[in-house]
Amino acid sequence: MSAPDHLETAGHVVITGTAGGIGAALAAYFLSLGWTVTGIDREPGPAGFNTIEADITDEAAMEDAFARAAETAPISAVIANAAVTDLDHHGVIDMPYDTWRRVLRVNVDGAFLTARCAARHMQKTGGGNIVFVTSSLARLSDAQAGDAPYCASKAAVEMLTRVLAIELAPLGINVNTLFPSVMIDTGFFAHWSRQERTRLAPPSLLNETARFLATLPSGAATGRSLDQQRWDDDPAYRSGWEVTA
């Protein structure tokens, strides 16, 4: 499918979780398209773009990170990608409370702080796009034993998206989510063998759809969830997202 005209405009995208995996792939992709890219991560990112080291659950650090990013160029898009999971996949009965709290804090509190910082800057410059990377595990139909905190956290972000879409629409800010329906080769699977990881999708899987959502005109689509697999496999689904610039 050819890219709509609105995809041709480069801007400044802030991406969280850029030290590796999906975030690093997104950063490299947007850079290749001529975008200004700012990464936010607790660890240094790959060379080629500015990385601000910050914990997404630290309110003051996030406010400072966004202020520094905005000094580079107006922020036109933010992709909230950073997340963690319980790599031991505890059942609820055996789950340490600290594990539950850590996943919810990073995935939900971090998403909230990222979006709030983004919106405060975007309202000064006429709007933009906020994109949350979520998961098919946020859906009731896809609940998975051993992943209670991750499933719950991503479901919370889906609802946060709906609320933000309502609140931020008058400011010209679109808020949407993007999720894969397959497992992607990220740090979540670092404990797998190299052979096992060959069946995982590449981290770049979300690149083009993230770009689509990051370049939507104000009011074109907001409060929606884009299913990567349906986008790839179903032309009718893609046509439901068509945008006239």
Which residues are known catalytic residues? 150
Q: Which string of b and e fits 153-188 if b means at least 16 CB within 10 Å?
A: bbbbbbebbeebbeebbeebbbbbbbbbbeebbbbb
58-66: long-range contacts, CB 8 A cutoff, minimum separation 24: 59/113, 62/113, 62/114, 62/117, 63/117, 65/40, 65/117, 66/14, 66/117, 66/118, 66/120, 66/121
Partners of 79 in the β-ladder: 15, 131
Measured CA to CA, the distance from residue 50 to residue 128 in angstroms comes to 20
